[in-house]
Amino acid sequence: MATGALKAFRDFGVRCPEDIALVSFGDVDWFELVHPRISAVRLPTYDLGATGAEILVKRMAGKLAGPPQHKYFLNKLFVRGSSVGNHGK
């Protein structure tokens, strides 16, 4: 979606980051290859999936009952050119 937004900005003459900032929720390696480089929040996708699967298996086996559990995961913001006026330099 981030690259689609970046394309739409260009199509409508909106400059990124001068007119609008763009930050993606989810980071991919090639975000550094487009111009401007896309800022993103990197999520611990493996840990999210593994924890979700573990909870699901325990609930299905009857070893976990009660209300939904809240789990918190660390993430990291990578500030790149799409969200800073100096193009990430």
pLDDT, one tens digit per residue, over 52-81 is 999 999 999 999 888 888 999 999 999 999
* Residue 58 confidence (pLDDT): 93
Q: What is the rounded distance in angstroms from the CA atom of residue 13 to the CA atom of residue 36?
A: 14
Average pLDDT along the chain = 90
Q: Is residue 30 part of a domain?
A: yes
**Helix, strand or coil for residue 83?**
helix
Query: How many distinct structural domains can be found in the chain?
Result: 1
Q: Is residue 24 part of a domain?
A: yes
Range of the domain at 51: 2-83
Q: Is residue 89 part of a domain?
A: no
**Which of 6-15, 53-62, 78-87 comes out lowest in average pLDDT?**
78-87
Q: Following DSSP, what letter does each residue of 6-33 receive, concatenated? A: HHHHHHTT--TTTT---EEES--GGGGT
Q: Following DSSP, what letter does each residue of 33-72 receive, concatenated? A: TSSSPPEEEEP-HHHHHHHHHHHHHHHHTTS--SSPP---
* Residue 88 confidence (pLDDT): 44
* Residue 55 confidence (pLDDT): 93
